[in-house]
Chains A and B, each alone.
Chain A
Amino acid sequence: MASSDLRCLCGVLMLGLAGCAAAPEPVADALMTGVVMRSGKAVTISVGFTRQVQVGANEVVISAMQDSVMVDELLLTVSTEMPSMGHGSSGSVNPARGDDGRYRGTVVFSMAGDWVLKLAVMADDVALGSFEFAIPL
């Protein structure tokens, strides 16, 4: 299992992937990524949002690429936590794979503060890795 990795986020992610559908492209000026291993090969997980992250519900878009090919059949779990205050928030929806190969879900940040977005990646009932991304609001 890949160890957790904490990175700073200052915006959302530009995903220039081939075969993009008509769904809104995430736009970003910073990167939020992680790498997990599956069957001995690296899978790059890229996380972004469809707009500037705000207090409330935010649509999250995640892509998983292995050898420049989108990886499906992943089980992604998201949650949010405000470590300094010792609470999370309710209402987040785990990303589900769409027709364009990306995974879309919802993450909720219920108030202004220093949040952490937690992402867990599983495939075939095996935990591949987990990540934590800092999101100040």
Chain B
Amino acid sequence: MVGPGRLISWEAAAVGLSTSWAHGTGRFDTAGRYRAFDVRLLEDEFRVEGWAIVRLHERWQVSARVPWVTGVRASPDGTSSVGTGLGDVSAALRWDFVALGEHAWVPGLALIAQGVGPTGRRPELATDFLGARATGRGAFAASLGLIAEVTQAAWFWRFDLAGVYSAPFTRSDTRQLQTFGPGVQVGLAGGRAFFKDRLVLALALRLEHELPLWLDGRVVANSESTGLSAGLAASLELTSHWLMTAGASSDVLGRLGLSQNRPDRLAFNLGVRHGFF
């Protein structure tokens, strides 16, 4: 559900490039306990994503996102590895059935249908010992989500809710039929615009939960996952067409015992956006 966003009301299309760096600091195990990494262990990921949004109709937008992933890994014994490759591409269709500001006291409401394709490389197909060449999850996935947005003066709020379904796939190493469990994603963001809307700052919370995965028709015990992250985002209008974005996020809230089977990462991102109108 986290995608390139939406078009501003007067835009016909937008394109952009975003870069991010995620630094692994530890992990949340099956029981939700936080386990810090050995100081000599490195599990970092750099990601460059090109994306585009096109308006099909007044209330319909289509978008696509193509990520290029680079993994940087190091082991306590001094072994290191760098791997790179195409990640899992995605595309989405958005329908604004209630436009923002269309009705008084009614938030803007949109439905988003998104699909993810397994164009990345699964971990067991990464040829290095540290898995740096892994770039994807290996399964088709589809999600359907609802977005509600409210603005009041310089303030805005946004609420996301989405359900995710992953299609079964055959593992190349074990030949087992694997299916990731269905999941739910909830996001809440709020912020304010400054300097005649040229600068926007926002805070965001995100909760993701995925039910246990299946192998050959049987549930894999202790494989459900939960992740809670918090982030800060900013956008700066450079010109009427160009926008710069930046942000940081952390999974540290998971240390309250709310995350399981997830990595703990500190991430930073920087991007540019060009709107066509």
Give A contacts to B, CB under 8 Å.
54-57, 79, 81, 83-91, 108, 110-114, 136
Contact A54 B35 (CB under 8 A): no
- Which of B26, B29, B123 has the most chain A CB atoms inside 10 A of its CB? B123
Q: Is the interface of B mostly helix, strand, loop or mixed?
A: loop
Q: Which of B30, B41, B125 contacts A112 (CB 8 A)?
A: B41
Give chain A nearest CB distance to B42 CB in angstroms: 10
Residues of A with C-beta under 8 A to B128: 91, 110
12 pairs, CB–CB < 8 Å, chain A vs chain B: A54-B76, A79-B174, A83-B223, A86-B178, A86-B213, A86-B215, A87-B124, A90-B126, A91-B129, A110-B130, A110-B131, A113-B27
Evaluate whether A111 and B130 lie within 8 angstroms (CB atoms) in the complex, with A84-B30, A84-B225, A88-B124 already known: yes
Complex Cα–Cα for A64 and B134 (A): 35
In the complex, what residue of chain A is closest to B77 when comparing beta carbons?
A54
Residues of B in contact (CB 8 Å), total: 39
Complex Cα–Cα for A91 and B27 (A): 23
- Whether, in the assembled complex, B276 has its beta carbon less than 8 Å from a beta carbon of chain A, the answer is no
Give chain B nearest CB distance to A33 CB in angstroms: 23
Complex Cα–Cα for A136 and B28 (A): 12
Give chain A nearest CB distance to B219 CB in angstroms: 11
Contact A84 B77 (CB under 8 A): no
Contact B29 A136 (CB under 8 A): yes
Evaluate whether A90 and B77 lie within 8 angstroms (CB atoms) in the complex, with A56-B130, A84-B223 already known: no
Complex Cα–Cα for A57 and B76 (A): 11
Give chain A nearest CB distance to B263 CB in angstroms: 8
- Which of A57, A85, A110 has the most chain B CB atoms inside 10 A of its CB? A110
Contact A86 B130 (CB under 8 A): no
Contact A112 B37 (CB under 8 A): yes
Residues of B with C-beta under 8 A to A108: 129
Residue interface bits B152-172, CB-to-A below 8 A is 1, else 0 = 000000000000000000010
- Whether, in the assembled complex, B220 has its beta carbon less than 8 Å from a beta carbon of chain A, the answer is yes
